[in-house]
């Protein structure tokens, strides 16, 4: 299965979770921003794990994390969110329990890695 299709199904499940369970007034924008936040957390976690294992920083500046979010955010909008393309998978959306599990795993793993080393590592 294509990773983009899996991601669209996750976004669709997240959208319906925010709309139906969390009763968000702006579920489309909330889904887009929440996925960017999860990517940001994952990036900083990857950077922290890299620094723990290799002993050197992956990026020369903490601003690189924001640049990575921008680089991910633009294609994310055009391939997934523009025209609400991810809603094509509403019949095959990721179940709520899986969406919550994935979000908790990303939060817990990212925060554990980030708090072990600090948000910008030892060298910044």
Residue 123 has pLDDT above 80, yes or no: no
Q: pTM score, two decimals? A: 0.82
CA distances from 94 to 2, 44, 107, 121 (A): 15, 25, 18, 34
CB environment 19-49: b (16+ within 10 A), e (fewer): beeeebeebeebbbebbbebbbbbbbbebbb
HEC string of 11-77 equals: HHHHHHHHHHHCCCCCHHHHHHHHHHHHHHHHHHHHHHHHHHHHCCCCCCCCHHHHHHHHHHHHHHH
Tokens of 18: 């925010």
Residue 6's H or E segment, with its range, is helix 3-16
Show Cβ contacts of residue 59 under 8 Å, excluding neighbours closer than 6 positions: 47, 65
Condensed to tens digits (0 to 9), the pLDDT of residues 17-76 reads: 999 988 888 899 999 999 999 988 888 888 888 888 887 777 777 677 788 888 888 999
**Percent of the chain topping pLDDT 70:** 93
Residue 100 has pLDDT above 60, yes or no: yes
């Amino acid at each position: 299965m294509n990773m983009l299709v899996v991601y669209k199904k996750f976004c669709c499940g997240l959208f319906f979770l925010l709309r139906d369970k969390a009763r968000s007034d702006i579920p489309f924008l909330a889904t887009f921003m929440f996925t960017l936040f999860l990517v940001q957390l994952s990036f900083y976690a990857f950077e922290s794990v890299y620094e723990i294992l290799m002993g050197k920083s992956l990026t020369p500046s903490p601003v690189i994390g924001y640049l990575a979010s921008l680089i991910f955010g633009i294609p994310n909008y055009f391939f997934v969110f523009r025209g609400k393309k991810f809603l094509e998978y509403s019949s095959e959306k990721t179940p709520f329990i899986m969406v919550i599990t994935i979000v908790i795993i990303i939060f817990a793993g990212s925060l554990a890695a980030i708090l072990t080393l600090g948000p910008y590592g030892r060298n910044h």
